Amino acid sequence: MNYQTYKPNSKLESIVKFYWTLEVPFDPKNQKQKIVPDGCIEMTFNFGDKIKRYTSENDFILHPNAMLMGQRTKSYYILPVGNVETFAICFYPIGFINFIKTSLENLVNKETPISKLFEPTEANDLEKQMTQATDTQERIKIIETFLLKKLNDKDTVSNIVKSTVDALLKTNGTTSINAILKDNVSKRRQLERYFRKQVGISPKQLGKAIRLQTTLNLLLNKKSETLTDIAYENEYFDQNHFIKDFKDLVGITPKEFLGNEHMALSALFYK
């Protein structure tokens, strides 16, 4: 597997977290790979063979070649049917809402073709340009031209959502929503409503996803000696609480995650 990341243009760095590419040659021995929630929304372009996303043990759908993957509230399995060649834009939690008027709640746990999010001719032209590009730098230039053209001039994200997301990112998802709101706990309902429209999921769900990313980084890079150390570094009440949250989002325990052949791709993303 060849996984690379690239920084965005300074005009987009508050919206786009990074671009990434993935190349994986086909191997009939390849196993299903589990993808875990990360709190981000991604637009992906597939230039290789089709990729299956499993909806059950045996049932699957095929990813569109140019799509948006909305926020994820649960892990899922994918399996390429051949060679993988992917380019993707990873948006911050409040990044993608700057480009469309659709409520992001409608995109959660779904792969949506970009032709359903943008004007069809415009989307088809973008996909064609990205496919015909000769290298990653050309693709970055194409997508940045498109995004800067589509970027809303008006403030799209409400202040209460922005400040909450900023606080969750700054504290790696460990701060409670009530603590972030301080004396404005009465605004919780308003925050929840705006959050689902502008982020796609609830503040609590986003906090859990962000916290999971920090946990995976510590786990895979062995920056902490034990699961208890990881639990306390991420401010879990205890190890059992940590393991429960991890299993809720990933589907297995932290110990089962390490060395698991179905987790090789997820592990690659955090090393």
Q: pLDDT digit string (tens) for 14-36?
A: 999 999 999 999 988 888 999 99
Summary mean pLDDT of the chain: 90
Work out the percent of the chain whose per-residue pLDDT is above 70.
96
- What's the whole-model pTM score? 0.90
Q: Which residue has the higher pLDDT, 265 or 67?
A: 67
Compute the distance between CA of residue 134 and CA of residue 117 in angstroms, rounded to an integer: 26
Q: Cα–chain-centroid distance for residue 139?
A: 20
Residue 135 Cα distances to 12, 47, 129, 132, 140, angstroms: 21, 12, 11, 9, 9
In this model, does residue 268 exceed pLDDT 80? no
Q: Which residue has the higher pLDDT, 6 or 181?
A: 6
| Residue 270 banded pLDDT, cuts 50, 70, 90 | low
Tens of pLDDT, residue by residue over 58-93, are: 999 999 999 999 999 999 999 999 999 999 999 999
Tens of pLDDT, residue by residue over 135-190, are: 999 999 999 999 999 987 666 789 999 999 999 999 999 888 888 888 677 788 88
Burial 198-234, CB ≥16 within 10 A → b, else e: bbbbbbebbbbbbbbbbbbebbbeeebeebeebbebb
pLDDT at 183: 67
pLDDT at 121: 96
- Domain 2-150 bears CATH identifier 2.60.120.10: yes
Compute the distance between CA of residue 51 and CA of residue 63 in angstroms, rounded to an integer: 6
Tens of pLDDT, residue by residue over 87-138, are: 999 999 999 999 998 899 999 999 999 999 999 999 999 999 999 999 999 9
Tens of pLDDT, residue by residue over 213-255, are: 888 888 877 766 678 888 888 888 788 888 888 888 888 888 8
pLDDT at 265: 77
In this model, does residue 49 exceed pLDDT 90? yes
